[in-house]
């Protein structure tokens, strides 16, 4: 893994994740596919940047997002009416979708705290003890009277939830709904349409 590229990716691309996810939600009616779409967009950008870094990362991110959605619409024969209709609107001004996130360190910290506070209580405790206080997994397990395995599963959950809240800007409730959608779709074995998103 290329460390400087990774740092660039975090600084220039991940910082726009909330805007990207909103954009995807607005134009892609299948909510269960958004997680996957987002990842594919990141893959495309990372691979392109490995060759040559784009001069305007944010524009490049949204252009990539738009192209990917268009590709998928073309590739899939069965497309919802909404999706097709929406593709026409994809040429939005990037600056409208993503007002530059120029938050100072304090505001960032506030956002982080808000995300952290939304974690389920158990998970929140484990994340604090492990990540902030850097108490060993074993000792956290002893202190909380749970197994090391359980501590680890809380850490895994905490990481994913924090990413979805802090980067994507989702609330815990939204995350729960989204993952439920995923599971239902998976169970049904078809890609039905998600409900209208709320933002």
Q: Which residues bind other proteins (CB under 8 A)?
A: 1, 6, 9-10, 14, 35-36, 38-40, 42-43, 46-47, 106, 108-110, 112-114, 116-117, 121-122, 124-125, 127-133, 135-137, 139, 142-146, 152, 155-156, 158-160, 162-163, 166-167, 179, 182
Please tell me the number of Cα atoms within 13 Å of 147 on its side-chain side.
Answer: 3
From CA 180, how far away is CA 167, in angstroms rounded? Answer: 20
- Residue pair 160/168 in contact (Cβ under 8 Å)? The answer is no
What is the radius of gyration, based on Cα positions, of the chain?
19
Q: How far is the CB of 56 from other proteins (least distance, A)?
A: 20
Q: How far is the CB of 85 from other proteins (least distance, A)?
A: 26
In the block, residue with structure tokens 């239902």: 184
Nearer to other proteins, 42 or 90 (CB): 42
Strands (E), 25-65: none
Nearer to other proteins, 66 or 130 (CB): 130
Q: How many residues are recorded in the chain?
A: 199
Q: Please calculate the CA angle 77-175-38 and round it to the nearest 5 degrees.
A: 45
Q: How far is the CB of 8 from other proteins (least distance, A)?
A: 10
Nearer to other proteins, 4 or 99 (CB): 4
In the block, residue with structure tokens 């994809």: 90
Nearer to other proteins, 88 or 145 (CB): 145
Nearer to other proteins, 94 or 155 (CB): 155
Nearer to other proteins, 70 or 113 (CB): 113
- Residue pair 62/20 in contact (Cβ under 8 Å)? The answer is yes
Q: How far is the CB of 88 from other proteins (least distance, A)?
A: 27
Helices within 88-192 (DSSP H only) = 94-97, 105-118, 121-127, 137-144, 148-162, 172-188
Q: Is the dihedral of CA 76, 41, 175, 98 positive or negative?
A: negative
Q: How far is the CB of 161 from other proteins (least distance, A)?
A: 9
């Amino acid at each position: 893994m290329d460390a400087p590229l990774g740092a660039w990716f975090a600084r220039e691309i991940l910082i726009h994740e909330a805007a990207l996810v909103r954009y995807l939600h607005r134009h892609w009616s299948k909510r269960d596919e958004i997680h996957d779409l987002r990842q594919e967009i990141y893959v495309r950008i990372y691979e392109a940047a490995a060759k040559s870094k784009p001069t305007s990362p944010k524009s490049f991110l949204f252009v990539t997002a738009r192209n990917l959605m268009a590709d998928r619409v073309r590739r899939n024969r069965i497309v919802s009416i909404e999706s097709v209709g929406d593709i026409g609107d994809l040429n939005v001004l990037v600056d409208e979708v993503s007002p530059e996130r120029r938050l100072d360190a304090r505001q960032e910290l506030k956002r982080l705290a808000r995300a952290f506070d939304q974690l389920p209580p158990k998970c929140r405790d484990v994340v604090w003890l492990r990540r902030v206080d850097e108490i060993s997994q074993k000792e956290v397990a002893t202190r909380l009277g749970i197994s090391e395995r359980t501590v680890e599963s809380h850490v895994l959950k905490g990481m994913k939830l924090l990413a979805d809240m802090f980067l994507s800007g989702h609330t815990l409730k939204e995350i729960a709904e989204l993952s439920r959608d995923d599971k239902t779709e998976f169970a049904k074995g078809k890609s039905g349409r998600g409900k209208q998103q709320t933002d």
